[in-house]
Structure 1
Amino acid sequence: MKKIITCLLTALGLTTACGQENFENVDVAEFAELTENQNVVVLDVRTAEEFAEGHIEGAILIDQGQDDFMEKAKATLPLDKTIAIYCRSGRRSANAAGRLAAENYKCVNLKGGILAWKEAGKAVTTDTYEVDIFKTKSGKLVKLHALMHSCIRIEYNGKEIEIDPVEKLGDRIVDYTAIPNADYIIVTHEHRDHFDGATIRMLTKDNTQLIMNQRCTEMYGSGKAMTNGQKLILKDITIEAVPAYNTTEGHLQFHPKGRDNGYILTLDGLRIYIAGDTEDIPEMSAIKDIDIAFLPCNQPYTMTIEQLVRAAKTIKPKVLFPYHYGKTDVTTIPSQLASEGIDVRIRHYE
């Protein structure tokens, strides 16, 4: 009977063939320490409804009860990171940890789940946007929020940075009223999925610094215009404007050379490249030492999957976020870049 039970558990992914768990169970204190480690991905395996009620900040959601759980997990989770998993009480996360560990993931399960986390007085958030947390060279936190499409929110050292803030695209809405007013608003170009004057006005306070390309400053009536190659050194950040344009014949009219910007933000030594709407242009070979890159992927307006992979191999960021991808299937990108040592993170930047 014991052998039958062990075989059943093994089939569920909860044990090894020897009857031992193939992942580690940790208490709240150990799990909390893991959430501060950049080599750890925090995974919530509950339902979307449970996640919305409250979750650990920085966690990504993949419902282990869905049929495509493993498919989504493999497309999203890097094999070279520790996966710190939790659910409500620890049972579903143990199941998920076992299944992932059977696929060679290093997994850690939170004993008692989020119930134990809350009981210990640990904070949860109801922000349903995905958040990735990084540390600068001196240990300051940088939080990157996946809002939608090209809209990125960055929290850094008490400052709010909004990239291409747009309130509504189709039936998707970002509730910017729930986000603090911005210290910096940075806009790549004037297309309506990047430039939204009403949202910019809503986010602006007395000392907000607005950085855009020349055409956007003309349309908005104010702001600091940057052109390709310019560098702006501010108190908290350094901003470099870099080229962003189309190269494919028949697509050149969408983003002509010299008009639009990509940006490199340097936050206390942490370098973030936001490519804007571009293809894999020759100028990318001069972009070096990038910690985090946002590369777009939706032809005919930006890059194909092949172009994005080629661009990533050129830039060699430590972490890559495909974004602005619409209906493009980006789930093959992690496997195509596996040999490059690039941590590819698929977030909801449709």
Structure 2
Amino acid sequence: MSKLVFVHLYNDRSGSPKVLSQVINATCRRGYSAELLTSYNPDGVLNGLPISQKNIFYRRSENKIITLIYYIISQLLLFLNCLRYFRQDVVFYVNTLMPFGAAVAAWIMRKPVIYHIHETSIKPKILKSFLRFIVNLTATKIIFVSDFLKNEESFFNKEQFVVYNAINVDSVLISPEKKDDKFNVLMACSLKTYKGVLEYISIAKHFVENKEFDFYLVLNADSKEINVWFNDVSVPPNVKLFSRQTDMTSFYAKSHLLLNLSRPDEWIETFGLTILEGMSFGLPVIVPPVGGPVEIVENEREGYLISCYETQRVVDSIKKMAADSELYNYFSNNAIAKANFFSLSEFEKNIIDIIDL
């Protein structure tokens, strides 16, 4: 049985490293020998996994040119790091399109490469074209997180699979009935404009005079980054900002509704793990009408498919759900039922089957 070398560039608490942690745990239970190459981050979701972890260089900057330079340096160092596996029987498992240095090293050493692709909205286009070229050159197998992504990014003459992301629904014991008198609206996302942060603020402003609503915005950033970002943004008093969380359970448990307001012309969600997590707690959702969310949410069944640019429709839908308990419970029960289809056990089985092929 070949050793698996997992490679992930940025070890934060976003969806793609969460999914990789599930893959790693599944392969460990299967008995695979494995190592993980990823950047150092004391709050990263990939910390503490039951395999050897080696840190790789990666940094970001507010300056895009500097970030690009850091990225190029990181891939050169990653390439050199991976060459040490030359005499070992290994399979490289490259998570996301970004760590191309590992794939190139594997190709030179004639080692198999499994790509797990999560993203489509990569800019500039020349970078995305280059990363796709590397996949075409090096990949043995390719895993996509949704049918949408496979159709959008499919590659010629490659073994390609769709494995939906999953959650451990057995661990969700929270009742969909909320104890809070207020109607709490939750959004959890990266601190990026294209994630719809400003649209969320705009929607919340429609409810300032209505004390029955609160808005929770959980951002994948620290307090300093949040303060700088919102320095020139007027945040209404009904919006509560929260920094990066290690556990979202309490937010899902006390919320009534989950929003995803990614701008469809700037960032297409290819799956939406946060959407699925919220639904498992009985939260109806309002999500974009394009991309992966369409494969999770049926309009007017688990919630609504509405573009973030249709602010008034979002506002009206929130008010409608808050006022109509029968409709809300219908959405809530359907959300729980749909989440049960995305079980962790099925995800692990599908991943292991692909690796074992």
If the length of structure 1 is used for normalisation, what is the TM-score?
0.29
| Higher relative contact order, chain-length normalized (CA < 8 Å, sep 6+) | 2
More strand as a share of residues: 1
If the length of structure 2 is used for normalisation, what is the TM-score?
0.28
More helix as a share of residues: 2
